Amino acid sequence: MSAGEIGTTVTQHLLSQQAEHGGATGAFTRLINELILAAKIINREVNKAGLAEILGLTGNDNVQGEQVRKLDDFANDVVTRRLFHSGHICALGSEEEPVPMNVPDGYRSGNYIVLFDPLDGSSNIDANIPIGTIFSILRKRSDTPAGKYDESDILQPGYMQVAAGYFLYGSSTMMVYTTGTGVSGFTLDPSIGDFLLSHPNIKMPSPGNIFSANMGNWDYWEPATKHYLNHLRSPMGAKPAYSLRYVGSLVSDFHRTLLYGGVFLYPADSRDPKKPTGKLRLLYECAPLAFIAEQAGGVASTGRERIMDIEPEKLHQRVPLIIGSREEVTLAEQFYAGRLGEKT
Ligand code: P6P
């Protein structure tokens, strides 16, 4: 590449997409750019987390009853401030906040809702395991006054998403997103401080040869889950038998599945009576990753229902998630429908 040539920046990519939408006002581009700025700020702190006193616990619990690490708090605050600063938000929903957030007084408001997990996988922070920020972008659909929202604006099924994506703070920092016309991946070049297009038009290989699940939950899973995984891992089942990879950080496990194919699953389990439908949240984890998976040619299901079709009932609703290559997820659905069983 000749001097001065750096490839396509994410902003150039956004502007070219904006140009293709005749009626685009630039509001969406502005909003995404604020998310990108938030990610760069979070990335800076994540990269030095091992050095700064920012590690450790705030001593507070979030709505999930999970001890909140300082970086979670910091990431939540950065994303919230930057998005309200965009002037195009009417409400925000965060894993770290019990209820949706209104536009603060003094800020311009707009017609977008962003639901996000500011720092997913945060329990891995101390072990330097890759973690991420996940976001889902919806358009206001109620006729409430400017800057106001009602529940129908927040509780929208996944197929209503305008865009979805994640930032992965790992060996390199990446941004992966879709607006419904394919999936693009960008890698942060720290020397220029910008995300450059590194993975154009991502397609999920199918079939893959990796399955990803927390096998420690084995005794708490329903029979269909066990029969499906036995099929994948036994030489008498899938040919050749699959490998198991499990990071325990959703964005990492999903990103590998997106690029290499295979299946990630966090099914319902009976380990925690308070979480009978699994651990992952529909609106700001499963639905945005489902949008990306489908745009990359994959499938995202509860095992019995398309994730993107679920009509949400609560902001922090949890659902089972089986997401990955078309072949593996549709096979899983056969097991959950009882059409395949123990000896398959
Ligand atoms: P388990 C991280 O805490 C998280 O929310 C996701 O990032 C990850 O996929 C899941 O929990 C891991 O849960 O029960 O396997 O530790």
Q: Do residue 315 and residue 221 come from a single domain?
A: yes
Q: Whose CA is nearest to atom 12 of ligand 1?
A: 248
Q: What is the mean pLDDT of residues 169-174?
A: 94
The answer to whether residue 237 is domain-embedded is yes
Q: What is the domain-level CATH number for residue 268?
A: 3.40.190.80
How many angstroms is it from 248 CA to the middle of ligand 1? 5
Give the domain range for residue 45: 10-199
The reported pTM is 0.94
Shared-domain flag, residues 258 and 141: no
The pLDDT, as a whole number, for residue 60 is 66
Q: 58 and 193: one domain?
A: yes
Q: Is 8 in the pocket of ligand 1 (CB under 6 A)?
A: no
Q: Which of 244, 266, 272, 323 to mutate to test the pocket of ligand 1 (most atoms within 8 A of CB)?
A: 266
Q: Which residue has the higher pLDDT, 64 or 263?
A: 263
* Residue pair 263/208 in contact by the 8 Å Cβ criterion: yes
Q: Is 69 helix (H, G, I), strand (E, B) or coil?
A: strand
* Ligand 1 atom 3, closest CA: 121
Q: Closest Cα to atom 1, ligand 1: which residue?
A: 248
Determine if ligand 1 sits within 6 Å of the CB of residue 269.
no
What pLDDT score does 19 carry?
80
Q: Per mean pLDDT, which range of 18-22, 95-99, 212-216, 287-291 is the poorest?
A: 18-22
Domain boundary among 143, 169, 199: 199
Residues 192 and 228 both lie in one domain? no
pLDDT of residue 50: 60
Q: Please name the residue that has the structure tokens 């995300």.
A: 195
Q: Is the CB of 227 under 6 A from ligand 1?
A: no
Domain presence at residue 147: yes
Q: Which stretches of the chain are DSSP H helices? A: 10-20, 27-47, 70-86, 151-154, 223-233, 250-260, 287-295, 326-336
Domain-terminating residue out of 175, 199, 223: 199
Mean pLDDT along residues 57-65: 66
- 106-142: pLDDT as tens digits: 999 999 999 999 999 988 888 889 999 999 999 999 9
Number of domains in the chain: 2
pLDDT at site 235: 74
- The arithmetic mean of pLDDT across residues 12-24, rounded, is 81
Confirm whether 119 is domain-assigned.
yes
Ligand 1: which of 72, 249, 252 to mutate, most ligand atoms within 8 Å of CB?
249
Whether residues 268 and 188 fall in one domain = no
290-303: per-residue pLDDT in tens? 999 999 999 999 99
Average pLDDT of the chain, as a whole number: 92
The reply to whether 2 falls in a domain is no
The finding on whether 67 has its CB within 6 A of some atom of ligand 1 is no
Domain boundary among 199, 227, 253: 199
Q: Are 229 and 211 contacting, i.e. CB atoms less than 8 angstroms apart?
A: yes
Q: Is the CB of 212 under 6 A from ligand 1?
A: no
Q: Are residues 235 and 183 in the same domain?
A: no
pLDDT of residue 344: 63
Question: The domain spanning residue 182 has which CATH number?
Answer: 3.30.540.10
